Amino acid sequence: MGEDAESPKINHTFLRDYVTEADVISTVEFNQTGDLLATGDKGGRVVIFQRETESKGVTEEAGEVGDSGEYNVYSTFQSHEPDFDYLKSLEIEEKINKIRWLPQQNAAHFLLSTNDKTVKLWKVSERDKRPEGYNLKDEEGRIKDVSTITSLRVPVLRPTDLMVEVRPRRVFANGHTYHINSISVNSDGETYLSADDLRINMWHLDITDRSFNIVDIKPANMEDLTEVITAAEFHPHHCHLFVYSSSKGTLRLCDMRASALCDRHTKLFEEPEDLGSRSFFSEIISSVSDVKFSHSGRYLLTRDYLTAKVWDLNMDKGPVETYQVHEYLRSKLCSLYENDCIFDKFECVWNSSDSVIMTGAYNSFFRMFDRETGRGVTLEAWRENSKPRAVLRTRRVYTGGKRRRGDVGVDSLDFTKKILHMAWHPEENIIAIAATNNLYIFQDRVNPDAQTE
Amino acid sequence: MECAVDAQSLISMSLMKIHSSRTQRGGIKLHKNLLVSYVLRNARQLYIKEKYAEIYRMQQYEEVMAVCSGIQELDPLEPLEQQGAEDAEPEQPGRAALCGEESRAAGGREPEPPEPAYYRSCCMEDQFSQNCNKTTVLDLDTHVVTTVENGFLHQDCCCAAAAAAAPQCAPGAAARKRKVDSAGCSPDLEEPADYTAGRKRLKREECSGADCSPDASNISNLISIFGSGFSGLLSRQAELEQVCSKQALASLGAWTRAIVAF
């Protein structure tokens, strides 16, 4: 919804808030080539953007303004509808929790989208030709009178306006008792996993009535529950390896060759707790909200409430790098608990060369960290401050010392403007940032190819 | 947007979140409620710690007062407990008196274990005093020597008894709270603290809840429905509740500063 100028007589704010709740973007994902970008929202819709192909002969120069490389809407469809579980008298939200693209095998594109309970496989295909010259039907499709047919002809395909068709091909239902938080496509191209709070299932893409349970951490007595699964992902190259994170801040690497049920981890990644900084909220802020393998498959990136951490698969004693995303919030945890912001689940992403990591924060800020220098930068995704093709300027949150112009005080941060979901192009320095119901796409024109910034 | 990092406000905030999550669209979110219960546990641990420290200080004061009045009256043979009951602190007149009340009211019944040891030895009744073991401790912070019976602290056990005695929610609450809230709300804070000890207590809480304001009854109903949740992670504090032994006492932060002198 656009921001209409408010009439001086009628205040539309409440209406605007009501209407756009369903438009809040809940997931963002590039496909493997980066030509397609899918977003899912709270209303159960999926919007696919396609990158415009660059015109032949035009080379990208620094600062050159052109239409090539922009993303435009390619297709929109309703993926999930609100549902109701009659047995448990529970409403099932239509919000799209995750979208994952399948590797492309033919002209069509496939993606998996999931809400709390059901995973669906969608086929996205183009149609730019249509058959003409039927013998038994006329151009409008009406059946011809047989007596009027005097000759036979072969129908031909003629070009037509491009039409994008999206059809559901599989519905993977009834696999989860708890809320699905992750899906991940395996490198074998045949299977994928779906994880909820207590279980992880593995599915075959062609089989919808059965799934294989590979992790189950539900205790025999629910009163003994101490942790839940928060995210899971397959290794990018090894189809037998996957990792899952827990609410206690631990990561578990599992090898499916070891046993059928991977309740016992192959490796446990855990950082010793800093007992000196314990607070009421220690458990909440240590809960991992997202985990991502690096493109190389050697490292893991995790996000908890205040930090982003890089782990080496070969070292389970602790992270190799820790980045403070918004340490200034540590003294505000009580207020953030009160307004529920402390439960926000931020995602984190790698760039294509695994040299830069990125994650979101509040006040429409997001942070990028250069792994080689260890330095971080704060950027802002806010339409009023950035015109198209303007250079993103770095922002700063004032936490003491000399205050610079443009610094934002901690108390002036807008906690309703949170950057939770984001994606980085698999090959180039293009990022997609979801800010509530807006999608920002930033491109690095100076270094379009992946380089250390 | 700063809020007071007060154990009690955190407990009530956490309960409100759990309560409202029941009506949230999409069903109860397991992860969020697990995290909220961790906050509840932490707040409760601090709450108990603070309570113990407070009682400890109060006992110190009473001991000192008792000794002073004993010296003045030249009657050193009177047991300290009785003196303590009569010479309640002026600032907190309700506490010790209530303690005595509650223990007398509950004295006749046969409470379930571990409660008999709980309040018997701490309350001001002669017949139980011989069961008390005394420990003399020196507080390094205040440099005061004091004697404590068996490590039991009045408030918690008497308040547990208060929760058990159905109609009497208000007096127990007054003893617990430092600040005065509306009468109806105060008992709620003890109810969630007790719920972790097991379902046995839940029925009693329902009784006390029903006599109080509608909010309290909602929350007590919530507790009974939520009774099966997450007590595994609260087992540490359940241990504290069940057995107020010296070992449990030693684990409390308030006591770690003290040296057992004798």
For B3, the closest of A281, A338, A411 (CB atoms) is A338
> Could you give the CA distance from residue A14 to residue A62 in angstroms, rounded to a whole number?
43
Average pLDDT, chain B: 55
Residue A181 to residue B180: CA distance in whole angstroms: 43
Averaged pLDDT of chain A:
90
Q: Where are the alpha helices (DSSP H) in B108-185?
A: 115-120, 126-129, 154-164, 170-176
pLDDT number for residue B23: 85
Per the CB < 8 Å rule, is B31 touching A247? yes
Give chain A positions within 8 Å (CB) of B228. 222-223
Chain A nearest-CA distance from B19, in A, is: 14
Closest CA to A239 of A184, A291, A286: A184
Residue A189: which pLDDT band, with cuts at 50, 70 and 90? very high
Mean pLDDT, residues A221-232 taken together: 95
Beta-carbon count within 10 A of A20 CB: 16
Residue B4 or B13, more confident: B13
Q: Do B229 and A223 touch (CB under 8 A)?
A: yes
Average pLDDT over residues B191-216: 41
Determine whether the interchain pair B228/A223 forms a contact, defined as Cβ–Cβ distance below 8 Å. yes
Residue-level pLDDT at B169? 38
| Shortest Cα distance, chain A CAs vs residue B253, angstroms | 14
- The answer for A 56-115 residues in CB contact with B (under 8 A) is 88, 90-93, 95
List, for residues A322-381, the tens digit of each pLDDT value. 999 999 999 999 999 999 999 999 999 999 999 999 999 999 999 999 999 999 999 999
Closest chain A residue to B30, measured at CA: A197
Q: Is the pLDDT of residue A180 over 90?
A: yes
User: pLDDT at position A88, please?
Assistant: 86
pTM of the predicted protein model: 0.70
- Tell me the per-residue pLDDT of A112-121, one tens digit each, with 9 for 90 and over: 999 999 999 9
Which pLDDT band, with edges at 50, 70 and 90, does B208 fall under? very low
pLDDT of residue B75: 55
| pLDDT(B74) > 90 | no
Lowest mean pLDDT among A307-316, A366-375, B115-124: B115-124
Question: Could you tell me if A45 and A79 are in contact, meaning their C-beta atoms sit under 8 angstroms apart?
Answer: yes
Element (H, E) at A185: strand A182-185
pLDDT of residue A89: 87
pLDDT of residue B132 exceeding 80, the answer is no
- Substitution target in B17, B20, B22, B38 with the highest count of A β-carbons within 10 Å is B38
Nearest CA in chain B to A218: B30
A411 CB neighbours in chain B (<8 A) are 1
Residue B137's pLDDT band (boundaries 50, 70, 90)? Answer: low
Answer whether A334 sits within 8 Å of B10, measured CB to CB.
yes
Q: How far apart are the C-alpha atoms of A48 and A205, rounded to whole Å?
A: 21
Q: Cβ contact (<8 Å) for B230 and A197?
A: no
Task: Determine the average pLDDT of the residues in B27-37.
Answer: 94
Q: Are A427 and A450 in contact, with CB atoms under 8 Å apart?
A: yes
Predicted confidence at residue B162, as pLDDT, reads 40
Closest chain A CA to residue B27 = A90
**Given this model, what pLDDT does residue B190 score?**
42
Q: Which of B4, B39, B46 sits opposite A337 (nearest CB)?
A: B39
Among all residues of chain B, which has the CA nearest to that of A229?
A: B31
Question: Between residues A425 and A5, which one has the greater pLDDT?
Answer: A425
Using 50, 70 and 90 to split pLDDT, how confident is the model at B149?
low
Is residue B226's pLDDT more than 50? no
A90 vs B contacts (CB less than 8 Å) = 26-27
Report the pLDDT averaged over residues B101-110: 41
Q: Residue A168: its pLDDT value, please?
A: 97
The pLDDT-based confidence of B143 (bands split at 50, 70, 90) is low
Angle at A184 between CA A183 and CA A189, to 5 degrees: 135
Q: Which residue has the higher pLDDT, B6 or A59?
A: B6
Asked if pLDDT for residue A311 goes beyond 90, the answer is yes
Q: Assign A9 a pLDDT band (cuts: 50, 70, 90).
A: low
Residue A402: band (very low, low, confident or very high) from pLDDT cuts 50, 70, 90: confident
pLDDT attached to residue A144: 86
- Longest Cα–Cα distance in chain B: 71
Contact across the interface for B26 and A93, Cβ inside 8 Å: yes
pLDDT at B89 over 80: no
Residue with tokens 């037998």: A240
